[in-house]
Amino acid sequence: MIAWFTAILNMSITASYVAVAVIIVRLFLRKAPRTFSYILWAAVLIRLILPVSYCSGLSLLSLLVPNVQTGSGAMEYVSGQIGLMNTPAINIGTDIVNQVVNASLPPATPAGSVNSMQIIMELAAIVWLVGIVLLLGYSVISYLKLLDRVRTATLVDGPVFESDRVTTPFVYGFIRPRIVIPIGLRDNELTYILEHELTHVRRRDYLIKPFAFLVLTLHWFNPLMWISFMLMSKDMEMSCDESVLRKLGNGAKAGYSRSLLAFSVKRGRPLSGSPLAFGESSIHARINNILNYKKPKVGAVAAACVISVIFMVGFTANPAGKQEGSVDQPGKLASVWANALVSRDGHPRYKMMSAAMKEQFKQEQIARSGRDWNYNIGVSSPWVVDYKIHMEGHTARITYLTQTSEPAHYQTEESLTFRVEDGKLVVAEYHTVYEDRPFNAEASISAFNSWVKG
């Protein structure tokens, strides 16, 4: 579950950068049809649901997060092994934030069986899962209440139904969408309403918005995603309003605005669970947009098309040249490797091994534990109390300080060699240089501390 939460967290951070960019670009597209602003949110949605992407020199993310790695096609700000790091750290591309967050992360406790950071990540993953369950439960209950409210609606024509239990028109249903309207609408109001709601149906907005909300439940912890969802809904509604005006002409502006205002006044509590609703939100902004609407010029549309294409390509691609084999990545992997021995859990080591080394690891474990081997590594005594790593290019030498209960101190050293395999940095070779070499600490705290700092 921690791995899933970390993957979602990394996707959410990337999507946050894209969302901020969309919010800024929308300001430059104010005079362009709202359809373009609506389309831009697709880049945020892609980043929220796809953990990996292609790398390109055209990626605009390289300007915002130039130092973030994109190993295995995924932007990684928070390592999946952060709970096993000796010194946990994140890198979200902003030095000030990095320093503040990293300073608050608890370091590993060599004598402890579980790192504090591991516990924090497990608790965070549990809270994340509980939040998803609560949001989904609330949405399902709200939607069932909505269905109960409209079960007495009477058929008018085609997909249009009429009900005395609603005050605003809306669309519901996922396979065969239905339009529900209040009783007693005037003919001119009915014209505007049906054209607006039919536009939603033609564009499959009744599927897009619920899907966007489903994605939002996975990223509920990110305030920017809630803001993005609201702005996306606003752009969706405004683009439908403009579609109505293009079909009915500018003469419909006044009547359409009055209808929208009338429904907003009559509206009771929001239709919880309804994916689309006429006059649902942003009434003042929508009326202003309707009254100020002018048929866009060809040049403005062409410019908006170019901006949208550049944006979609630039923000759905990962920065090129930030692959997992960067200079500091072997050191981070070596830290994870060492912490695995501290916790005596071989899973993190196995995940970063090459195919050949995985087979070697299996054979070693079989020789140690038999055919029913497991991932337990190390011994209960002497146990690891600290370690230090010395890097030479893609080779790491890890020196462990171990201790028994007497106490007696020893040193053990391992050597790791890294290489890129299938586009991923892996441990291609590992061996023990020496093991349980007596270390004369003489019960000296200063000697112990100098070794650790050395």
Burial of 444 (0-12, 13-18, 19+ CB in 10 A): exposed
C-alpha to C-alpha distances, 94 to 64, 100, 274, 351, 441, nearest whole angstrom: 9, 10, 39, 29, 41
Burial of 349 (0-12, 13-18, 19+ CB in 10 A): buried
Reading phi first (left if > 0) and then psi (alpha if -120 to 50, else beta), residue 33 is in beta
Angle in degrees, CA 366, 369, 375, rounded to 5: 80
Minimal CA–CA distance to 48: which of 292, 182, 215, 277? Answer: 215
The predicted pLDDT at position 114 comes to 63
Identify the residue whose tokens are 């403005």: 300
User: pLDDT by residue (tens digit) across 356-403?
Assistant: 999 999 998 898 888 888 888 888 888 888 888 898 888 999 999 888
Fold (CATH) for 329-453: Nuclear Transport Factor 2; Chain: A, (3.10.450)
The predicted pLDDT at position 218 comes to 96
Average of pLDDT values for 16-42? Answer: 92
As given in the structure block, the two tokens for residue 261 are: 């205002």
| Percentage above 70 pLDDT, the chain | 86
Q: Which residues of 207-239 are buried (b: 16+ CB within 10 A; e: fewer)?
A: ebbbebbebbbbbebbebbeebbebbbbbbbbb
SS3 assignment, position 405:
coil
Find out whether 351 and 80 touch, Cβ atoms under 8 Å. no
User: pLDDT by residue (tens digit) across 173-196?
Assistant: 888 899 998 887 787 778 888 888
Helix (H) or strand (E) holding 386: strand 383-392
Question: How many CB atoms are closer than 10 A to CB 453?
Answer: 7
Reported pTM: 0.72
Minimal CA–CA distance to 212: which of 200, 230, 239, 197? Answer: 230
Radius of gyration of the chain (CA): 29
User: pLDDT by residue (tens digit) across 84-120?
Assistant: 666 777 878 777 777 888 788 887 665 555 668 888 8
Q: Is pLDDT at 441 greater than 90 in this prediction?
A: no
Find out whether 15 and 216 touch, Cβ atoms under 8 Å. no
Average of pLDDT values for 49-63? Answer: 83
Minimal CA–CA distance to 323: which of 54, 104, 40, 111? Answer: 54
Domain extents for the chain?
Answer: 2-319, 329-453
